Structure 1
């Protein structure tokens, strides 16, 4: 009888370890599975994904049935080893000690560590398969799990913990950017850049892409007709603001093509422009680019004048400016803007002070701070807290600079040298 029962006991022990390993597999795979991938599979109609989603919707019940099964099986395995040791060596204390150590090692190796490593490596396959077993087990043992969770909930209330408020898997914009950048094998480099720019679009405002007022080409309706005609024939833009007397008095926006259609062989006059001009479209300073993109779409506009808190317009933003923030440069800029950067023989670069810092960083690969002033001129003025003179050198964010020209209380031209290696800052 003893010879027959010993093999059965050993087989039962092995079976208990295997079943315990299944619960360990299930626990780790359920916690490690990609929730977004799971949602995608569930939407496609995958039954295992739907069952897994339902199980994860009540984590306390899921963990309750897994740990209940795991601990029962481990306890049964330890008891079974004690029975085997007692049948073979009576009540030998040394044999019991060796048996305890042996079953502990067996549980750790075969029922805990190895299954968890496997589950962490293949969480999706294991979790979706395990859901078919765990779902009926949860229904069978629900009364026991519910009773155990009463004590668990009581302890959580005692410690003032509310886990259900923290179970939603939300992802921040920065985490989403990291997720996109790490998906290098699935998303092309260019597509990654577009997606990251889209994420940033909500944090970037119109002030970051604005064309400063000093760089805007506009038409004065009070100018001579010949001057208006000549300016239109030589302009580099398709849309131009119209003003009377001074730039603060903007009265409209014209599309140059429509103006040419009105010519009929004659000269362009102020009266011609007034016939085809549209009402100016104003944008409050600080408007997020994504919101402005939607507003352009809703209002069927392609250009807007940015106004500050005092109602004075400080520049303009076009639809193309926003699109370039998403997909990069694609328009052909007029010749007046091609001289923004001039490479010098010594490796330095001559830059206009009015350039936007975001453009400078994007086009030249710099890392100048953009959380303060929007232009290079503003960054330098903030650094000195004064209007510097030509010939003064400075270092901002590791980039040595030299002021070449100042005019009208602004820095006009700056020479930027290659960035220095990062070292300990010194006076």
Structure 2
């Protein structure tokens, strides 16, 4: 290039810097590109996205082409600069040192740092158009790339480094949860809440969502017929657990609406009710709710009775109970959901000791632990290790709880105080 004028040689240096910058910015942008976003763009038919996905599927070849081009230009630039310095100023060591420092500064700033920052900031805007230029270049340099990769592979084998095991980029459940949590800017709050609840569903059993034994709306077949008929006409649910004498002696499940319709043309007696009962459907305590939801679909059942290892009835669960864990409580007239509102003006709330912890957390936006006892009474007894006598206060997970009423069996009524952090956040 000695026959070229000085301005042309300087222009060539800046052109080489621009080419080196292109490879640097392309490398950073493609490595920083969101693979899931890329798959979405491929599904929409984007040519740049399809080309980029094809290049990233051969990461070793892609990096070889980019690094060969980048290092080739970064090597030519100092050589050309030195040639210009020698031609202009002669063999002056001081001038050569200054020229070397200047060219190193230009490479670092304009061919490395600046392009990489831009590429990391706008990966999608840069990677997709750049792939249309790199793809044909990769095909043209295929023999060179093969030779370089063969040598690099040999070195990796000598070092016993297995690159195949490091290519799995599947997201874990916790990583997906983090993505959902950070999606507040473009995902509605309700949708985000449902997705987060869906992740929690894997760690929840039917014991967490069931209606406890004492709250099951049931029908005792030995009751007077007038009382039975009155209960059928005023019950909250369309399906009742029917037992005889003791609730552990379950006879079946009664469909109330069909029963009342059919009794208009029949004599109302216990034997008639027995013929209308459906077989009870039992599930063991501790069954995961995801698995139980699948069982409901397969068995076409709407009500499951939960029994412990001794065969004793623990509670009742329906598909609606499981769905409520995802989308929140339905607006119904069930006794279980009779609480309304939240904290009073003093930041307090009086609740029953039998209230399930998950329901209490949802209602008052608390974070009481749910990996142990399932009710507020059980949580307090576990903390105190005895049934309290008189008024007792206890602080659990930052929540102050005051026992207002208890008996020889359990804590009956509890006053819950709003945590200080929540009070400050609501002002």
TM value normalised by structure 2: 0.92
What is the CA distance between 1:260 and its match in structure 2? 0.7
Cα deviation for residue 199 of structure 1 reads 2.7
| 2:71 maps to 1:68 | no
Counterpart contact for 2:343–2:364, Cα < 8 Å:
no
How many Å apart are 1:19 and its aligned residue?
A: 0.6
CA distance in 1, matches of 2:71, 2:62: 14
Gaps (5+ residues) in structure 2? 423-427
Aligned position for 1:24: 24
| Corresponding position: 1:381 with 2:381 | yes
Q: Could you tell me which residue of structure 2 aligns to residue 248 of structure 1?
A: 248
Partner SS state of residue 386, structure 1 = coil
Whether contact under 8 Å (1:390, 1:404) holds in the other structure is yes
Partner residue in 1 for 2:216: 216
Quickly say closer, same or farther: Cα 1:136–1:262, change in 2 above 3 A: same
SS of equivalent to 1:248: strand
**Map of 1:170 onto structure 2:** 170
Is contact 2:38–2:53 with CA below 8 Å preserved after alignment?
yes
Corresponding residue of 1:273: 273
Match of 1:357 in 2: 357
From the superposition, tell whether residues 363 and 420 of structure 1 become closer, same or farther in structure 2 (CA, over 3 Å). same
Q: What is residue 328 of structure 1 aligned with on the other side?
A: 328
Contact 1:213–1:315 at 8 Å: present in 2 too?
A: yes
Secondary structure of the 2:5 match is: helix
What displacement does 1:215 show? 1.0
**1:262–1:272 contact (8 Å) kept in structure 2:** no
For the residue of structure 2 that corresponds to 1:366, the secondary structure is: coil
Any stretches of 5+ residues in structure 1 without a counterpart? 423-427
Counterpart contact for 1:221–1:243, Cα < 8 Å: yes
What is the TM-score when the length of structure 1 is the normalising length? 0.92
**1:45 Cα shift?**
2.3
| 1:309–1:10 CA distance, 2 compared to 1 (3 A) | farther
Report if the CA contact (8 A) 1:342-1:351 is conserved: no
Retained in 2: the 8 A contact 1:405–1:413?
A: yes
Q: Could you tell me how far apart the structure 1 residues matched to 2:10 and 2:88 are? A: 12
What pairs up with 1:126-275 in 2 under 5 angstroms? 126-264=126-264, 268-275=268-275
The separation in 1 between residues aligned to 2:200 and 2:341, in whole angstroms, is 26
Which residue is 2:425 aligned to?
none
**How far does the alpha carbon of each residue in 1:98-141 deviate from its partner, in whole angstroms, 9 at most, with x for none?**
11111111111211112112212221121111111222222222
- Matched pairs, number: 422
1:202 touches 1:291 (CA, 8 Å); kept in 2? Answer: no
Residues 238 and 256 in structure 2, CA contact (< 8 A), matched pair in contact too: yes
Secondary structure of the corresponding residue to residue 416 of structure 1: strand
2 CA distance for matches of 1:244 and 1:335?
23
Secondary structure of 2:202's counterpart equals coil
Confirm whether residue 368 of structure 1 aligns to residue 368 of structure 2.
Answer: yes
